[in-house]
Amino acid sequence: MAPLILTLRLDAVAQARFDTERSTHFPPERNFLSAHLTLFHHLPGAEVDAVGSRLRAVCEGQPCFVLEVHDLWLMGRGVAYRLRSQALSRLHAKLVETWWDWLTPQDRQPLQPHVTIQNKAGAEQARALHDRLRSDFVPFDVLGTGLLLWHYRSGPWEPAAAYPFSDA
């Protein structure tokens, strides 16, 4: 069964901004997805009901929260925005604890929240974009409004379910 991916849903203004930057800077032949902040890369697809049940329970008591977009990250052949939020860290830790036995080594690592706007570009192209964006970068805030669950079937992700936070 196809694995599941879990991402943070962002407010509409932030999502539009990141999508615009991604469509501008991502190599078009590789840009199959909207901009996203991945929380888990590979949850077991066979456990979709248990995953959904846990996400519903967590999101019922979780208000929307602010994340600070605080830096840019040069990732070798791409660029991402780095984000931080104590609320996101706590939420992620709670889910890690629940799903520990299901997690891949990648998903057991500490969360490094980011939204990739360029990947699989040339190293020089990535460096140039990073330097240009960094030259006038000012930190800004976005809002986390829920969780999105996706099926991964070796192509564009397919929506599985959306779990809005309690006040979204």
What the block records as the tokens of 72 is 């840019």
∠ CA 19-2-121, rounded to 5°: 35
- Rounded distance, CA 129 to CA 133, Å? 6
Q: What is the pTM of this model?
A: 0.96
pLDDT tens-digit readout, 72-103: 999 999 999 999 999 999 999 999 999 999 99
CATH architecture classification, 4-164? Alpha-Beta Complex (3.90)
- Rounded distance, CA 91 to CA 142, Å? 17
**Cα–Cα nearest to 64, from 122, 114, 11, 120:** 11
pLDDT tens-digit readout, 18-38: 999 999 999 888 888 999 999
- Rounded distance, CA 137 to CA 35, Å? 19
